[in-house]
Structure 1
């Protein structure tokens, strides 16, 4: 009898993730989660290649529009008011992707509508 005939598939799973088949991904703009990146607060709950620690940025005077995609023609999700804290997770060109909190909303704003990072 070969070694392969004596071994049984393991039914013991370690950790929160298994490669057991497709999973349902959350829809909408409630979680800071993309296929490639997620808020560090989602580590251990959702598996992605990279997690980001948010960089808090204040919204500049005049406010900012949170959009569903990095385009001025994308759906408007909400308007951020001056002084609101935006959790910046990624920058793509002139757009910042992030959220207001771990529970959302999540979307894109023009990076020039956010205060620059402060040295700390």
Structure 2
């Protein structure tokens, strides 16, 4: 959880200075979802190639967001994410 940013779908439930709309992506490689951006931070869960991930923020080489398959929030390498599909860009 971050105090500065929240999913726009939670706007009626959670106060945050900023809200972001999730950007759907699919993992192109297996990746660890971590509590923080640092590579030595605790691993929350291992995500698999092909899993969905909803990006809420991109910070350098890291992406922060939601793994909707299990509802967990954390950071993973932005390089693990596929490009948006045509449907995602048009939405």
TM-score normalized by structure 1?
A: 0.67
Give the number of the structure whose residues are more often strand, by fraction.
2
Classify the secondary structure of the residue corresponding to 1:112.
Answer: helix
Hey, what's the Cα distance between the residues in 2 that align with 1:104 and 1:35?
18
Give runs of aligned pairs for residues 10-89 of structure 1, distance below 5 A.
Answer: 33-60=1-28, 62-89=29-56
Report the CA distance between 1:35 and its aligned residue: 1.0
Gaps of 5+ in 2: none
Report the CA distance between 1:117 and its aligned residue: 2.1
TM-score normalized by structure 2?
A: 0.87
Please identify runs of 4+ aligned residues in structure 1 that moved more than 3 A. none
Classify the secondary structure of the residue corresponding to 1:107.
Answer: strand
Larger Rg: 1
Q: Please, what is the CA RMSD of the aligned residues?
A: 1.4
Hey, what's the Cα distance between the residues in 1 that align with 2:8 and 2:67?
14
